[in-house]
Amino acid sequence: MSEDTDEKILGTTTVTQRWRISLIKAVREEFAADGLDVEEGDRLVYKLRDGQIVVEPA
């Protein structure tokens, strides 16, 4: 991360049974394309970065 990036962690979430806290299919596919399988029990972090909300594995 570059030093001029304004980033703020908004919180985290846990993927729960049946994706109750769900990621849309397109987001899961993007994670998979990057080699990240997000499954039930995984933690995710929400960040505010340069005015946009970013979701990343924690």
Sheet holding 7-14, edge to edge: 7-14, 43-49, 52-57
Token look-up 């846990």 returns: 14
Q: What is the pLDDT of residue 26?
A: 75
| Nearest alpha carbon to residue 57 among 19, 25, 28, 24 | 28
* pTM of the full structure: 0.54
> In this predicted model, what pLDDT tens digit does every residue of 17-55 receive, in sequence order?
665 666 767 777 888 888 988 887 888 888 898 888 888
